[in-house]
Amino acid sequence: MYSEKVMDHFNNPRNVGEIEQPSGVGTVGNAKCGDIMRIYLDIDENGVIQDAKFKTFGCGAAVATSSMATELVKGKTVQEALQVTNKAVMEALDGLPPVKVHCSLLAEEAIHAALWDYAEKNHIQIDGLEKPVADIEEKEGAEETTEGY
Ligand code: FES
């Protein structure tokens, strides 16, 4: 039911851990399943992501997607990292079973939350980055509302 890549990233996750004094850190949860993901980013003065680490208290798919998401954003600029959507992460993992698609949303949102934190700390605005939610469930319900504030 899981692809080889998912199993590989689940059994041997990359980038597990924390970054001390990260440029940005983001935590997102899913109230429904109780899973939580935290992503740390180290971003240099040119806006390039030098390192990414994660901690995930969650299901196997959440571990695999955080592992792949952190791999994908490393070496990318902040703008490029915005293209690392849950779809891109799933493609890189050769797909996820439909019931596990929401787990990959955690990874996308946690990256956005870390980027948001970085932008706030540096008083900059990242084009195309929307204010992340703390609980992914809010997003599904709030899709059609106009403002996230
Ligand atoms: Fe909660 Fe996968 S079941 S993130």
Q: Within 13 A of 57's CA, how many CA atoms are on the CB side?
A: 9
Catalytic residue among 5, 7, 8, 33: 33
Mean pLDDT throughout 74-81? 97
CA of 34 to the centre of ligand 1 (A): 8
Mean pLDDT throughout 80-95? 96
The pair of three-digit structure tokens given for residue 80, joined into one six-digit string? 């490029």
- Per-residue pLDDT tens over the stretch 97-136: 999 999 999 999 999 999 999 999 999 999 999 999 989 8
Catalytic residue among 49, 62, 64, 103: 103
The pair of three-digit structure tokens given for residue 131, joined into one six-digit string? 């204010």
CA of 137 to the centre of ligand 1 (A): 12
pTM of the model: 0.91
Give me the phi and psi of 54, to 5 degrees please.
-145, 160
Mean pLDDT of the chain: 92
